A and B are shown apart, each in its own frame.
Chain A
Amino acid sequence: MSIEENLKLIEIKNIHKQFPGVYALNDVSITAYPGEVLGLVGVNGAGKSTLMNILGGILRPDSGHILIDGKPVEINSPRDSEKNSIAFIQQEIQFFFNMTVYENVFLMNLQDYRKYKYLPLLDKKELCKKTNEYLNMLGCKVDPNLKVGALHIGEQQMVQIARALAQGGKILLFDEPTSSLSLKEKEKLFEVIKNLKEKGDTIIFISHYLDEVQNICDRVVVMCDGKVSGEGLISDMSKERITSYMIPKEIKFKGVKSKVSEEVVLEVENLSGFKKPKNVTFKLHKGEVLGLWGLLGSGRTETIRTILGFDEAISGKVFFKEGNTLKEIKRKNLLKACGYITEDRHFNGLFLAMEIWKNITSSNLKKFASKFLSVLNTKQEKEEGLIYVKRLKVAASSQFSLTGQLSGGNQQKVVIGKWLSKETNILLLDEPTKGVDVGAKIEIQNLIRKLASDGTSCIVVSSEVEEIQHLCDNVIVMNEGNVVAYLSAEEMTTQRLIKECLGKG
């Protein structure tokens, strides 16, 4: 095989993809050349992941073509994608954790490594040898006989890349590969990517960390609202220029003046869970939006779950303002007085197979029930549903639509409506704009600011710097379950936020 045959040029031409209510990809054309790292950036909901899922054979485009080395290819399944030398290295590592490294690396073609032709016995030696070859290529020294579950996340990432190479991947798609890596592991990964590039592989690197993109990529394509909004060589694209392409022109976040009062409504004192959080202490004021910032796995969600009593605590107290006094409260009772917008609306935010109105009233049924026998007034419930469908501009035909049929942004609005209907003074929001299109995102951010200026206190967990900067009056930075910094609005520069959350590591 000559070198040229090994090189794969991929062209994506005029791809369109629509989901109910969202134009996810609108006439997207991108070309990636062999021997280069192409950065693909954009905010959440810009269409990056949809595009990658199309290349990976998970979704099918409504129209458009994909050409590899000038030849049009049909990608209808992950198998097709693999046949065309495309390998997808996903954000959340996909493994069989109870199986060994070599089994995971050769998962798709174990049947080619039989000891004897007609007996289904694996040639373990050969498999280990081959696995070692790939791992050495990546400069990774892991025993192929270990269980994948026993490895560090960084090593798992390497095994995932080894698997991509073992499957004959020449076009490698990295989807936010660094989001769960330590700084050292990150540097290692970048080195590996550079080596792969020199070998002549085509690499598409998706990220919303611009520093990383500038560090590793040769060229960058910026996506916004399902379109390519800008592209160019990395030398021509300054950070500011990339950012300006990333933000949609039409909708702008309108910052509302914060009205934080001195009044403390919730106080957490030395709260510790089994693993995380560790000794977390903070005060939440009336009308304040308090951010919880940190890397994935820094213990933000765990902190919220522990405050609300969903996770066990080993020590610590929670004080809650009832009437005019701040009193210690049993954590399990706190949920009655708070709204909790969870991180994953499908897992524990919504009843997808139920109508919108049933979801809206679900956390607050007592309000619609008689004292005797708690009989529900469904008419009143349906009216409440309609009120929130209108107020939050949920794109649905009526409050009787099934929640599962709505787009991500509208589902998220229903989750928010569900807690607003409860009319609490404290809202805890875990990634309130995750997986939401840009328009809905800004609407939700505006809403949070509006609520705060009306006197509601919010705790917001977010992984996006811009969101934290937009929304928060103060921010708590977490690292490995500890509070490592408490920053005010003036101190929340991008650099500072990133520096603090990386901690000493």
Chain B
Amino acid sequence: MNISKKISKQNLFIFISFALLFIVLSLFVPYFLTSYNIFNIIIRASIYGTMALGLTFVMITGGIDISLPTVMTAGTVVGVMHMAKTGNALIGCLLVVLVCLIAGAINAVSITVLNMPPLIVTLATQTVAIGFAVWYTNYLSITGIPKGLLSFFRSYIFSIPVYAIIFLIIIVIFQFILTKTIYGRWLYFIGQNINTAKVSGVPTSLIISTAYLISALTAAIAGIMLATQIGSAQPAMGRVSMVLDIISSVLIGGVSINGGKGTIIGAALGAVFIALISNVMNLIGLQFYTTLMIKGLIIILAIAFDSVRKR
């Protein structure tokens, strides 16, 4: 009761700040309140947010996965290359998922079996994945995504973009898993105190591994979404700043960097917030390095807020 109230209070806080921000932005930022721009924000939030949801699973166990954007890139270039060659969208999509899951499995095994620190492991995977993507594509961007796939993703259902609908479906499923199932409770147990979790009979290594696999799966989904949105796959699609955006979404959403706390709804709201901020900084013409500084500061503030609240 106590905790769920606190969390919803925080979500409410984010929600209200959204509303206020939205009004202010609509009044003062030109071109902000155009349907084109709003859809832009929603699509961006859906793609980045999907990975933020996967990262939430990992961060609840007390881990971190910074390999998501480049793993997404590696998977997507392989899948799209296949689509371009054979025109088979389904096999292409499955290849994206497969490559991402392999990377996720490498993360999982290194962390749970070999006991390596998640930050270093995923840093290494990140580097391998981007190296692989560049080698595989030879720096070229790969076009030739089948028309059917493109038009499916770019369509609207009841004037809601398909991207947003996919995002919403994932939110609902993940929220259910985290709050209603034994698996979800186990994830929180592990983040709260892994030693107690072990004694309580939680198969900790297995559960932590699945968290990294789930986050890799969201990278695959996000990769397909991003490729259909920009119409191609390219090694530069998963930039460094993307990691920042995903991590800050999760942190702003109230997921603790130390594990054991946080909600899917929070992370999703965080993703929308970050998409909004990025979009506005773009609209008012801030340069790339300025936006990087601001985003970095947002992460520091979010972590500071988390540790102050703990005291």
A residues bordering B, Cβ < 8 Å? 310, 335-336, 340, 342, 347-355, 358, 362-363, 365-366, 369, 373-376, 400, 402, 418
Picked from B1, B185, B193, the residue with its CB within 8 Å of the CB of A348 is: B193
Given contacts A352-B193, A362-B196, 7 further A-B contacts (CB under 8 A): A310-B198, A350-B193, A351-B192, A351-B196, A369-B181, A376-B180, A402-B2
Instruction: List, in ascending order, chain B residues with CB within 8 A of A362's CB.
Output: 185, 189, 196, 200
A456 to chain B, nearest CB (A): 19
CB closest chain-B residue, reference A340: B199
Q: Give per-residue flags for B163-207: 1 if the beta carbon is below 8 A from chain A beta carbons, else 0.
A: 000000000000000001111011011001101101111000000
A348 to B193 Cα, complex, angstroms:
7
Q: Nearest B residue to A369 by beta-carbon distance?
A: B182
Which residues of B are found within 8 Å of A351, using beta-carbon distances?
189, 192-193, 196, 260
| Distance between B180 CB and nearest chain A CB, rounded to angstroms | 5
Complexed CA–CA distance, A342 and B183 (Å): 24
B20 interface residue per 8 A CB criterion: no
User: Taking CB as reference atom, which chain B residue is nearest A368?
Assistant: B182
A349 touches B199 (CB 8 A): yes
B-side residues, CB < 8 A to A, are 1-3, 180-183, 185-186, 188-189, 192-193, 195-196, 198-201, 260-261
Contacts of A363 in B (CB 8 A): 199-201
Tell whether, in the assembled complex, residue B183 and residue A374 are in contact, meaning their CB atoms are under 8 Å apart. Answer: yes
> Which residues of chain B come closer than 8 Å to A365, judged between CB atoms?
182, 185-186
Q: Classify the secondary structure of B's interface with A.
A: helix
Q: Which residue of B lies closest to A344 (CB)?
A: B195
Residue of B nearest to A363 (CB): B200
Contact between A400 and B1, CB atoms less than 8 A apart: yes
Cβ contacts under 8 Å, B180 to chain A? 375-376
B-side contacts of A375, CB under 8 Å = 180-181
B182 touches A376 (CB 8 A): yes
Q: Which of B182, B192, B196, B260 has the most CB of A within 10 A?
A: B196
> Do A348 and B201 touch across chains, with their CB atoms under 8 A apart?
no
Q: Are B199's CB and A355's CB within 8 A? A: no
List of B residues within 8 angstroms of A373 by Cβ: 181
Distance (whole angstroms) from the CB of A478 to the closest CB of chain B: 22
A368 to chain B, nearest CB (A): 9
Residues of A contacting B200 in the complex (Cβ-Cβ under 8 angstroms):
362-363, 418
B2 touches A349 (CB 8 A): no
Judging by beta carbons under 8 Å apart, are A366 and B196 in contact?
A: no
Q: What distance in Å separates the Cβ of A409 from its nearest Cβ neighbour in chain B?
A: 19
- Cβ–Cβ contact B192 & A335, under 8 A: no
Q: Which 10 A-B pairs have the closest CB atoms?
A: A348-B195, A363-B200, A351-B192, A374-B182, A365-B182, A400-B1, A362-B200, A348-B199, A348-B196, A375-B180
- CB–CB B2/A355 < 8 A: yes
> In the complex, how many angstroms separate the beta carbon of B258 from the nearest chain A beta carbon?
10
Distance between B230 CB and nearest chain A CB, rounded to angstroms: 36
Q: Nearest chain-A residue to B177 (Cβ)?
A: A373
Specify which chain A residues have a CB less than 8 angstroms from the CB of B189 in the assembled complex. Answer: 351, 362
Complex interface: chain A residues within 8 A of B185 (CB) = 358, 362, 365, 376
Cβ contacts under 8 Å, A340 to chain B: 199
B192 is contacted by which of A354, A366, A369 (Cβ under 8 Å)? A354
* Nearest-CB residue, chain B, relative to A399: B1
Task: Report A359 CB to chain B, min CB distance, Å.
Answer: 9
Contact of B201 among A335, A374, A402 (CB under 8 A): A335
* Residue of B with least CB distance to A418: B200
Q: Is the CB of B198 within 8 A of A348?
A: yes
Decide if A336 touches B201 in the complex (CB within 8 Å). yes
Q: Which of B182, B189, B200, B260 has the most CB of A within 10 A?
A: B200
